[in-house]
């Protein structure tokens, strides 16, 4: 009976060592056969250039890492004065802007599109637009109506409202 116990113990040890050897060989083979991922291209290599106008103006800078670029709201919107408002000099122009150059030009134009006076206002370039404000003094106008145009000189974003003098 003692011999049977020794034989059983030797068989158990052989099976355990064999199983461990097979497991070790399988793990080694698994590590060697895993494909190594190819390097991903630089995000800048596929970043659209500012020359592309197919989908509108493209920012000249990439968003900060970790931001959701789908929710970036670029552009300009004039809040005051309202469309077809009667204005006098100086006119205070307020709105929202989110443009790459962080600056907007504010122009008072007559009905023929001639610039009567212009000013600039600070804007932002972030995930959401920020408030801009400019006061424009104008003195010469010969017509009853005109426009206020706020635009981004480099990226092409703009908004305008019709005004009456």
Residue 65 pLDDT class (50, 70, 90 cuts):
low
Cα dist. 91→20, 110, 113, 128, 139 in Å? 85, 14, 18, 26, 11
Please provide the average confidence, as pLDDT, over all residues in the chain.
82
Helix, strand and coil content of the chain, in percent to the nearest 5, comes to 20, 35, 45
Any idea which of 12-16, 45-49, 155-159 has the lowest mean pLDDT? Answer: 45-49
The span from the CA of 122 to the CA of 78, in Å, is 14
Confidence (pTM): 0.56
Domains in the chain (CATH in brackets) are: 71-164 (2.60.40.10)
Cα dist. 2→6, 8, 73, 156 in Å? 6, 10, 84, 95
* pLDDT score at 27: 82
- Region 28-32: mean pLDDT is 68
Give yes or no for residue 73 having a pLDDT over 90.
no
């Amino acid at each position: 009976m003692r011999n049977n116990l020794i034989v059983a113990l030797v068989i158990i040890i052989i099976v355990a060592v064999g199983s461990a050897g097979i497991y070790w060989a399988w793990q080694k083979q698994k590590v060697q056969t895993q494909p190594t991922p190819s390097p991903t291209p630089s995000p800048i290599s596929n970043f659209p250039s500012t020359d592309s106008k197919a989908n509108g103006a493209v920012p000249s800078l990439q968003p900060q890492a970790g931001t959701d670029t789908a929710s970036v709201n670029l552009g300009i919107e004039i809040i005051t004065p309202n469309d077809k408002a009667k204005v006098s000099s100086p006119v205070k122009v307020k709105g929202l802007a989110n443009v790459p150059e962080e600056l907007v030009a504010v122009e008072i134009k007559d009905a023929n599109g001639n610039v009567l006076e212009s000013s600039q206002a600070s804007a932002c370039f972030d995930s959401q637009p920020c408030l801009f404000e400019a006061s424009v003094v104008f003195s010469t106008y010969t017509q009853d109506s005109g426009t206020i145009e706020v635009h981004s000189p480099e990226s092409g974003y703009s908004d305008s409202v019709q005004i009456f003098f």
